[in-house]
Chain A
Amino acid sequence: MDSRDKIDRREFIRAAAVLAAGGGAWMAARPDAEGMVWQIDPAKCIQCGRCATNCVLNPSAVKCVHTYEICGYCDLCSGYLQPGAKARDTGAENELCPVGALKRKFIEEPFYEYTVDEERCFGCAKCVKGCGQFGNGSLHLQIKRDLCVNCNECSIARNCPSDAIRRVPARRGYLFKQWVSGEESEG
Chain B
Amino acid sequence: MIYRLALVTLALAAVLGDQAGAEYRFPMPEFESGYERPQMEAPPPKLTSPVVDVALLAGLMALTAFAVLKLRSRNWVLTLMVVSLFYFGFYRKGCVCPVGATQNVFNILIGDGAPVPLLISIFFLLPLIFALYFGRVFCAAVCPLGAIQEACAVQPVQIPRTAENVLGMFAYAYLGLAMLGLYTGTGFLICRYDPFVGFFRLGGSFNMLMAGGVLLVIGIFIARPYCRFLCPYGVLLRWASIFSRRHASVTPAECIQCRLCETSCPYNAINLPTPAVQSEPRRAGARRLGWMLAAMPLVIAAAGLAGVLAHPLLSRLHPVILLAERIAAEQRGDFGDLTIESEAFHASQQSPAELYAQADAVRRRFRAASAAFGVFLGLAFWGRMVRLSVIRKSPDYEIDRGACLSCGRCFAYCPVEKPNDVAA
Contact = CB atoms under 8 A, between A and B. Distances in A.
A85 interface: no
B18 A43 contact: yes
Given A135-B26, A161-B344, A65 B198 contact: no
Contact of B42 (A29, A108, A173, A185): A173
B24 A56 contact: no
Given A21-B128, A167-B5, A145 B40 contact: no
Nearest to B188: A153
A42 to B, nearest CB: 7
Interface residues of A, number: 79
Contact of A29 (B15, B21, B121, B191): B121
Given A146-B45, A178-B19, A185-B21, A108 B128 contact: no
A28 B116 contact: yes
Contacts of B245: 10-11, 14
Contacts of B100: 152
A131 B237 CA distance: 53
Contacts of B50: 34
B22 A66 contact: no
Interface string B33-51: 1010110111111110010
Contacts of A177: 19
Contacts of B16: 178, 180
A1 interface: no
A137 B24 CA distance: 8
Interface string A80-114: 00000000000000000000000000011001010
Contact of B28 (A25, A69, A107, A184): A69
Contacts of A108: 31-33, 35
B313 interface: no
B26 A145 contact: no
A29 B11 contact: no
B47 A35 contact: yes
Given A43-B19, A152-B95, A170 B45 contact: yes
Interface in A140-168: 144-146, 148-153, 155, 158, 161-163, 166-168
A26 B21 CA distance: 44
Contact of A180 (B22, B42, B192): B22
The number of chain B residues touching the other chain, given as a range, is 35 or more
A166 B129 contact: no
A34 B133 CA distance: 29
A41 B11 CA distance: 9
Contacts of B46: 145-146
Nearest to B15: A43
Given A28-B116, A185-B19, 18 more contacts: A22-B125, A29-B115, A29-B121, A50-B340, A70-B28, A107-B31, A108-B32, A108-B35, A115-B38, A137-B24, A149-B201, A150-B45, A152-B101, A162-B347, A167-B5, A167-B114, A168-B8, A173-B42
20 contacts: A14-B132, A18-B132, A22-B125, A26-B121, A33-B114, A33-B116, A34-B119, A46-B347, A54-B205, A67-B40, A68-B38, A72-B28, A113-B38, A135-B26, A145-B46, A146-B43, A153-B187, A162-B348, A170-B45, A180-B20
Interface of B: 4-5, 8, 11, 14-16, 18-29, 31-33, 35, 37-38, 40-47, 50, 93, 95-96, 100-101, 103-105, 108, 114-122, 124-125, 128-129, 132-133, 187-188, 191-192, 197-198, 201, 203-205, 243, 245, 319, 340-341, 343-345, 347-348
